[in-house]
Amino acid sequence: MGINKIRQKSMNTITNNISRQSQIEHWEHLLPSKTKLKSDFADPFARLTPEQLEDLAILSRIRWLISSNKADPNGASAQEAKQIEEALAEERIDVEWLLSKRQTIRQQRIEQTTNKKIEAKDIKLSGVILPLYWNDERLLTHFLLMPYLGQCSHFPPPPPNQVIFVESTKPIDIQKLTANLQKSQYSFLWVSIEGTISLEATNHNVFRVDGMSWLESSYGVICHNISLCTPKDIAKVLEWQTREERKSLYPKLTELISINTDLN
């Protein structure tokens, strides 16, 4: 089911004021079954080293910047791209072939790492939001929802199957939503959303502490209701994370909601 049909389904739900029990309430429901984790396709990127993967990503981004007229085709970035191409060629890596396979491999990875059984189901999920798009009235229209928010390359974001691209049917006034929330209460903005989920691969250029980077999402949600998380909602998310993740990500929040950091 495409995102337009999902949007229509969600709007019909609102219009008819139909109250249906949410079926997806935990982040683990977005994960595939253990049997699906065994790859049954050949991934040419799997044989590359982390350094080679990074070089390939930089090269791809520079090419995109040049093709979008956002970088000088004869400038420093273009020279860097040429050096990367030559270095990878010396390592017998077929850059053009690999780049031509990106979308195919990406789709295969998504199929391997998502749960198709939740397609078009109702969802009620809590997490941290990363705002993406605002309308002319400075109301939030689209955002990413995650169980935690990686801030830089040294602490990366969640994998694509733990990132949801959310479109709100009603633009959100963040100031109004957080009016009664003390700024020092939470490190990040935690919300609970209700809507309809779909398998929808998207890629977003987002700001992080050490610069802009691409963030992938394997799911989309048409959201018809959003509210601030209660401490209990946040606790449910934190309990699923490992003790080390909780202590490094949300030490103050963990203490605030009385979570036992020795769980799990």
Same domain flag for 76 and 150: no
User: Which residues, in sequence order, are CB contacts of 25 under 8 Å at separation 6+?
Assistant: 123, 124, 125
Across 109-131, average pLDDT: 87
Give residue 1's pLDDT.
Answer: 53
Same domain flag for 145 and 216: yes
**pLDDT at residue 23 above 80?**
no
Does the residue 38 lie in any domain? no
> Structure pTM?
0.64
pLDDT band with cut points at 50, 70 and 90 for residue 75: very high
Same domain flag for 87 and 190: no
Q: How many domains does the chain have?
A: 2
Counts for the chain of helices (H) and strands (E), in that order = 9, 5
**pLDDT at residue 247 above 90?**
no
More confident residue, 122 or 110: 122
Looking at residue 236, which CATH number applies to its domain? 2.40.50
Give residue 179's pLDDT.
Answer: 82
Same domain flag for 127 and 95: no
Among 88, 108, 128, the domain boundary falls at: 108
Residues 116, 131: Cα–Cα separation, whole Å: 26
Residues 198, 184: Cα–Cα separation, whole Å: 35
Residue-wise pLDDT for 157-215, tens only, equals 788 888 999 999 999 998 888 887 765 455 578 999 999 999 988 888 776 555 566 78
217 contacts 160 by C-beta, under 8 angstroms: yes
Phi first, then psi, for residue 108 (nearest 5°) are -65, -40
Poorest-pLDDT segment among 29-43, 121-135, 145-159, 176-190: 29-43
Same domain flag for 104 and 153: no
Same domain flag for 103 and 118: no
Give residue 223's pLDDT.
Answer: 96
User: Which residues, in sequence order, are CB contacts of 132 under 8 Å at separation 6+?
Assistant: 142, 143, 144, 165, 204, 206
Same domain flag for 147 and 83: no
Same domain flag for 28 and 118: yes
Across 73-81, average pLDDT: 93
Residues for the chain: how many in total?
264
Same domain flag for 169 and 252: yes
pLDDT band with cut points at 50, 70 and 90 for residue 20: very low
Among 92, 108, 124, the domain boundary falls at: 108
Average pLDDT in the chain: 77
- Please, where are the H alpha helices in 34-101? 50-67, 76-90, 95-100
* Residue 255 DSSP class: H
Domain that holds residue 74: 44-108
**pLDDT at residue 68 above 60?**
yes
Same domain flag for 96 and 17: no
More confident residue, 197 or 155: 197
**pLDDT at residue 99 above 60?**
yes
